[in-house]
Structure 1
Amino acid sequence: MRRLLNRLLPKSMRSEVVTIPVVRLHGAIMSGGGPFRPTLSLATTAGLIEKAFAFPDAPAVAISINSPGGSPVQSRLIYKRIRDLAAEKKKKVLVFVEDIAASGGYMIAVAGDEIIADPSSIVGSIGVISASFGFPELMKKIGVERRVYTAGTNKAVLDPFKPEKKEDVERLKALQLDVHGTFIDMVKERRGAKLKDDPDLFTGLFWSGKRGLELGLIDNLGDMRTVLKDRFGPKTQLRLITPSRGLFGRKLGVFGSSFSAADVASAAASGLIDAAEERALWSRFGL
């Protein structure tokens, strides 16, 4: 309605204010998560993304990314939701990198029609990693016997309490190569001829925003407010998209539920594990 009224007014009386919806995708990318330590996944971001694309008068959607990566599946699902809505609503997507858009964070970033980063941002890390620990010698020292019963010869693959097997590692590496190939295909499809022919581009290395611009991983250097006002005019307003609230003002979704003491204890325990995993993701990039 506002768009129609604006068109009916004389040009001198039309509003020059442009509103750009902004979605913040900050944190590690993990399925599940919890009420006390929310993470990025399709479940936690889909509502925000859809609300941003629902602005009829907005010429573009701005997405702020600050993520060291995580689940490749959740990264791709978020990427796909952004691209599907961009095509459906016919809107440009401008991605702004803050501290980091690496690994799965960069996979989401390539959903943008343009990627803008700070010169000191970290971008790239186009690779796949799997990390764990092995405790077979510790089990012997403390006198604990591991008992595992399976139906299927490969159900105990990469058991951390058993010696590592060469064939198990080979299976894992084959899986990683498949996932890595999918990642590379996505980057090539979205970045195309912008990418420079550099042998290190898809090796898992990461770079500063300044070097990322030279390699074609991003399009420009800058910050969200400056770029959007330069692009759409000095009266441009940024509208941060936040979770919907319920009847009593509580945020819906994982924040709007009731929890028992057992729920709290379970969430706290899993939260410690999630926190350690998330800390490891950030620390890979010195953050």
Structure 2
Amino acid sequence: MADWHEPSLEDQAQPTRPSAAEPESHLHQMLKSMEESRFAERAMLESLVKEGLNEQKRGRRSKNLFRLFIVLYLVATMALLNRGDFEEGSSASASEPHVAVVKMVGAIMPESDLDADEVIKNLQEAFKDENTKAVVLRINSPGGSPVQAGMIYDEIVRLRAEHKEIKVYAALEDLCASGGYYVAAAADEIYADKATLVGSIGVIMKGFGLEKLAEQVGLENRTLTAGNHKAFLDPLAPVDSAEKAHAQGLLNQIHAQFIEVVKKGRGKRLKADDDKLFNGLIWTGEQAVTLGLVDGLGSVDWLAREKIKITEVMEYHQNRHWSDRFFKEISSSTGTLFMKLSQQQPYLGW
């Protein structure tokens, strides 16, 4: 059995001396810790620098992509406006008998590619060409300005009377509504696809009443006029019954003009009563044939091949520099917007 030995006082009083290797080990640990700290700081700094550089690269890429998008957009816009036309004047005449096509695609509006001036020039060139054997109006339009449509209609009627040997056809595509059909009514015959939307023989004047909303938001109407009805149908004022009746009278008169034009152009071919034909509804091309608004189903190529018996087809259009087209569109858009904002009156159209 082992003996238990209690340390003596001498043993307890004698201090413990560290070995010579201990200070060196402690110093080594401190140096190593400092080195690791510096390494971590350096790694963090490098990471931040790399992240900053990557962010700059991403920013530059975004800017470059945005600039590229702008350039491509401008190029595409110029190409659409240009469409290969760089000189003034009309497309060249064909040297052999042909069918002249006058395209009417889009809204019939002033200061646009489909305003009366533009279309009338194309019509005049088509009829003037001695090789033109027939004229086809290629129409794909929702309508637009009653005045512009009326001017085009009148010119077609005049040219038909002047060139009795040239027959005029209308080939309706996706849509021929309102003012588009007003123009088509000037043709000798009208053809469409079975799914073409045809009709909308009516007049519209859009407007909104904002007086209650203005009152809720604390907006005060300070419009000043000289003339009792100068602020005609002001959206910030309650509806004036006299002005409303006057506006309805305008619509009714223009509608009557529209009906007269259709009846004059279609005559006995119309196969339904006025209430059905002239109520503003639209029909498919198939239904329009049944109603007498359309003579048959067919396209531009079908008309040239089957009705006119001439395969040569030539489109007549005004060739202008792209810059003229571009600034005309800008002028039209800004002018229309300014007019609407300044007049604050309802827009009348087909």
TM-score by length of 2: 0.65
TM-fit CA distance, 1:135: 1.2
TM-fit CA distance, 1:160: 0.8
1:64 aligns with 2:135: no
Give the match's secondary structure for 1:20. strand
Aligned residue for 1:229? 305
Residues 66 and 101 of structure 1 are in contact (CA less than 8 Å); yes or no, is this contact kept in structure 2? yes
Aligned residue for 1:5? none
The verdict on how the C-alpha distance between 1:273 and 1:195 changes in structure 2, with shifts beyond 3 A counting, is farther
In 2, the alpha carbon distance for the partners of 1:47 and 1:20 equals: 17
In 2, the alpha carbon distance for the partners of 1:273 and 1:208 equals: 37
1:119 aligns with 2:194: yes
Code of the aligned partner of 2:152: I
Residues 18 and 236 of structure 1 are in contact (CA less than 8 Å); yes or no, is this contact kept in structure 2? no
- Of the structure 1 ranges 48-57 and 113-122, higher mean CA displacement relative to structure 2 is found in 48-57
In 1, the alpha carbon distance for the partners of 2:141 and 2:338 equals: 18
Determine which of 228, 231, 236 is the counterpart of 1:161: 236
Residues 126 and 132 of structure 2 are in contact (CA less than 8 Å); yes or no, is this contact kept in structure 1? no
The verdict on how the C-alpha distance between 1:267 and 1:43 changes in structure 2, with shifts beyond 3 A counting, is closer
Residues 157 and 168 of structure 1 are in contact (CA less than 8 Å); yes or no, is this contact kept in structure 2? yes
In 1, the alpha carbon distance for the partners of 2:183 and 2:333 equals: 29
TM-fit CA distance, 1:164: 1.2
In 2, the alpha carbon distance for the partners of 1:206 and 1:102 equals: 7
In 2, the alpha carbon distance for the partners of 1:271 and 1:188 equals: 32
1:211 aligns with 2:281: no
Aligned residue for 1:82? 156
Aligned residue for 2:267? 192
TM-fit CA distance, 1:43: 2.0
Residues 96 and 116 of structure 1 are in contact (CA less than 8 Å); yes or no, is this contact kept in structure 2? yes
Code of the aligned partner of 1:128: V
1:29 aligns with 2:108: yes
Aligned residue for 1:11? none
Code of the aligned partner of 1:219: D
The verdict on how the C-alpha distance between 1:125 and 1:268 changes in structure 2, with shifts beyond 3 A counting, is closer
Determine which of 86, 96, 110 is the counterpart of 2:185: 110
In 2, the alpha carbon distance for the partners of 1:267 and 1:195 equals: 37
Aligned residue for 2:31? none
Deviations 1:219-271 (A, max 9, x none): 110111022112233x62110112134xxxx269x5286x9xxx96x666457
Aligned residue for 1:179? 254
Residues 118 and 318 of structure 2 are in contact (CA less than 8 Å); yes or no, is this contact kept in structure 1? no
The verdict on how the C-alpha distance between 1:189 and 1:267 changes in structure 2, with shifts beyond 3 A counting, is closer
Aligned residue for 1:9? none
Residues 135 and 168 of structure 2 are in contact (CA less than 8 Å); yes or no, is this contact kept in structure 1? yes
Give the match's secondary structure for 1:230. helix
In 2, the alpha carbon distance for the partners of 1:271 and 1:172 equals: 21
Code of the aligned partner of 2:288: G
State the Cα RMSD in Å.
Answer: 2.7
Code of the aligned partner of 2:118: T
Code of the aligned partner of 2:153: Y
The verdict on how the C-alpha distance between 1:116 and 1:273 changes in structure 2, with shifts beyond 3 A counting, is farther
In 2, the alpha carbon distance for the partners of 1:273 and 1:74 equals: 20
Residues 28 and 39 of structure 1 are in contact (CA less than 8 Å); yes or no, is this contact kept in structure 2? no
Code of the aligned partner of 1:204: G
The verdict on how the C-alpha distance between 1:224 and 1:133 changes in structure 2, with shifts beyond 3 A counting, is same
What are structure 1's unaligned runs of at least 5 residues? 1-16, 33-37, 275-280
Give the match's secondary structure for 1:59. strand
The verdict on how the C-alpha distance between 1:181 and 1:221 changes in structure 2, with shifts beyond 3 A counting, is same
Give the match's secondary structure for 1:158. coil
The verdict on how the C-alpha distance between 1:230 and 1:107 changes in structure 2, with shifts beyond 3 A counting, is same
What are structure 2's unaligned runs of at least 5 residues? 1-95, 340-347
Residues 146 and 179 of structure 2 are in contact (CA less than 8 Å); yes or no, is this contact kept in structure 1? yes
Residues 53 and 61 of structure 1 are in contact (CA less than 8 Å); yes or no, is this contact kept in structure 2? yes
TM-score by length of 1: 0.78
Give the match's secondary structure for 1:130. strand
